[in-house]
Amino acid sequence: MKDWQNMEFSPEELGHYSRHLSIPEFGMEGQKKLKAASVLAVGTGGLGAPMLQYLAAAGVGTIGLVDFDVIEASNLHRQVLFGASDVGRKKVEVAKERLREINPHITINVHETRLTSDNAIEIIEDYDVIADGTDNFPTRYLINDACVMLDKPNVHGSIFQFEGQVSVFNYLDKEGNRGPNYRDLFPEPPPPGLVPSCAEAGVLGVLPGIIGCIQASEVIKVITGIGEPLAGKLFLFDALNFSTRTVKVQKNPDNPLTGDDPEITELIDYQEFCGLPPLGEEEDEQQESEVPEVTVAEYKSWVDNGEDVQLIDVREPYEAEIAEIGGELIPLDHILDQADKIDRQKKVVVHCRSGQRSADAIKKLREKYGFDNLYNLKGGILAWSEEIDESVPQY
């Protein structure tokens, strides 16, 4: 952090922060520390949107944005930085515009990229506090490990349907003690596919706002030194029955990063660590080699030419109510139990929202029952909506 004691404010800034300055425990000292600090938000979506708005409004002097995604219509029910007119634009560009409108007195740095083992150290090392608003396990472990290696506090948040979690990892307290990190709480990632994404399982729109605001509060506490951060604790919130719980997080002596006999000394391949295929072209090649695919255009040509093709939808019933292109609905969890509904004598196209669950279904069916006539609809409903029929909603 910069020398906060030498921070100065313009009359406009003093007016902006006047309600902070009137808090005895916060005051001018707290505001100067915020202005001197830099925070990197990894992800500008569900958690990042509310968190960033409050960090900008509060006066964090430098905010970094890491995101490579574009805004989709399905983002708008929870990613409150964005509006309908922003669909198709880059998230970091719109986020920077909105945050500058909230507070023109701060600096916004844009990192329009995917955080990887190749760039994480270079990006993270320039910031005082890292705020993890990501939604996948490889990036969570990557952020954690980079923060530990660089001695950075990691304010972590996660959401699922009606539930949220917040913790402050790798925090250095006033006595010089370093707190637990993400690997102390989760030594190993869950098996691939066990925990569905928000796109698959859904999330209550207001939940990211609640959890993102708590993250912002923890970031401010870490920077200013007021209060007691959620270091060594995991805060659990259930919006469905409005229950909260805080559990202790202990250091694990077997932690491969910070335990008694550390094995990890540099950033690793986090896709491989989480049992997932490599990103980019390598992922496409691997998927093609494992599961036969058909594009939406190819499938449409089969139907238009009168080919006898069976279509299987492995999404959940509520998804079919949102958007559908026909086919027999057999959710992924029931696909093996209802395999007798799948014809072995003709082409069978299996589809879902994006093509991931349908690929998983085909793998299971081939492995257990030896199906050799199954094709994955590449890109799923999203590709159909984009390339064939735009009246089919994207969700």
Active-site residues, by number, are 198, 352
Q: What are 232's two structure tokens?
A: 């060594």
Query: What's the CA gap between 196 and 202, in Å, rounded?
Result: 9
Q: What angle do CA 294, 299, 302 make, to 5 degrees?
A: 125
Q: Largest Cα–Cα distance of the chain, in whole Å?
A: 77
The answer to whether 319 touches 395, Cβ cutoff 8 Å, is: yes
Which strands make up the sheet holding 243-248, listed edge to edge? 107-111, 62-66, 38-42, 129-132, 154-160, 163-169, 233-238, 243-248
Query: What's the CA gap between 121 and 98, in Å, rounded?
Result: 27
Q: What are 138's two structure tokens?
A: 């490889």
Query: What's the CA gap between 51 and 219, in Å, rounded?
Result: 9
Question: Residue 267: is it exposed, middle or buried by C-beta count within 10 angstroms (0-12/13-18/19+)?
Answer: middle
Bridge partners, 374 (sequence order)? 348
Amino acid letter at 102? I
Bridge partners, 157 (sequence order)? 166
Q: What are 27's two structure tokens?
A: 């005051």
**First-to-final CA distance of the chain:** 41
The answer to whether 167 touches 161, Cβ cutoff 8 Å, is: no
